[in-house]
């Protein structure tokens, strides 16, 4: 039995009155609440490195994308498309679930709210990769002191080279998370 279930059963059998008492009918409610509290405590260990580690190889990233795009594919269809074994599939799904990126709902895997945010960030990274050489060109032009660009020239260069509105906004400092209300004030936690 998994340790978290052992802990929950221990709480259930030591705290919740047993059969024959009026509280027994509420036992499963206590059990469920205890389970949710334990899951909340275990989810508190989610960190950036754990989330990125769950997406670190191409097959895991492809699986993450498939979860984001489709609800109707069966396990065997996904395994066939990715060319992975059942063990590899469930190992990767376990990593995604433990990282808080996916969950099982109505017999299918779906992204969690946290997973949706990470997915949108992943899309933004993909757009940056697609525009890598354009971004490199902007860096090269801005890197030479004698080629100092006026703000208007820089803006025109960015609008000419970059097609993605998201990347443009980041380069032009519009709608950034670093604005006053959303500024990160503490360093990110690093897991060991």
**pTM beyond cutoff 0.85:** no
Q: What is the mean pLDDT of residues 112-125?
A: 90
Q: What is the pLDDT of residue 133?
A: 92
Q: Say if residue 121 is exposed, middle or buried (CB neighbours under 10 Å; 0-12, 13-18, 19+).
A: exposed
Answer yes or no: are the C-beta atoms of 191 and 50 closer than 8 Å: yes
Q: What is the pLDDT of residue 24?
A: 52
Given a cut of 80, is residue 61 above it in pLDDT? yes
Domain locations in the chain as residue ranges: 3-43, 48-112, 131-182
Q: What is the mean pLDDT of residues 49-75?
A: 83
Q: What is the mean pLDDT of residues 87-102?
A: 90
Given a cut of 60, is residue 121 above it in pLDDT? yes
Who has greater pLDDT, 8 or 62? Answer: 62
Fold for domain 48-112? Arc Repressor Mutant, subunit A (1.10.10)
Answer yes or no: are the C-beta atoms of 137 and 122 closer than 8 Å: no
Residue with tokens 């065997």: 76
Three-state SS annotation for the chain: CCHHHHHHHHHHHHHCCCCCCCCHHHHHHHHHHHHHHHHHHHHCCCCHHHHHHHCCCHHHHHHHHHHHHCCCCCHHHHHHHHCCCHHHHHHHHHHHHHCCCEEEECCEEEECHHHHHHHHHHHHHHHHHHCHHHHHHHHHHHHCHHHCCCHHHHHHHHHHHCCCHHHHHHHCCCCCCCCHHHCCCCCCCCCC
Q: What is the pLDDT of residue 85?
A: 92
Given a cut of 80, is residue 109 above it in pLDDT? yes
Which range is least confidently modeled, 21-25, 73-77, 95-99, 167-171? 21-25
């Amino acid at each position: 039995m998994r340790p978290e279930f052992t802990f929950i059963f221990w709480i259930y059998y030591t705290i919740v009155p047993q059969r024959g008492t009026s509280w027994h009918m509420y036992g499963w409610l206590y059990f469920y609440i205890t389970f949710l509290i334990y899951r909340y405590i275990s989810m508190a260990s989610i960190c950036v490195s754990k989330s990125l580690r769950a997406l670190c190889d191409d097959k895991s990233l492809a699986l993450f994308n498939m979860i984001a795009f489709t609800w109707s594919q069966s396990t065997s269809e996904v395994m066939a498309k990715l060319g992975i074994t059942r063990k590899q599939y469930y190992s990767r799904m376990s990593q995604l679930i433990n990282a808080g990126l996916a969950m099982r709902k109505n017999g299918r895997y779906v992204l969690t709210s946290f997973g949706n945010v990470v997915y949108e960030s992943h899309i933004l990274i993909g757009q940056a990769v697609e525009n890598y050489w354009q971004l490199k060109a902007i860096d090269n032009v801005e890197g030479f002191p004698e080629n100092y660009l006026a703000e208007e020239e820089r803006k025109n260069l960015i609008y000419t080279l970059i097609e993605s509105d998201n990347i443009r906004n980041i380069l032009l400092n519009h709608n950034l998370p670093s604005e006053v209300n959303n500024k990160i004030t503490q360093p990110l936690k690093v897991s060991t």
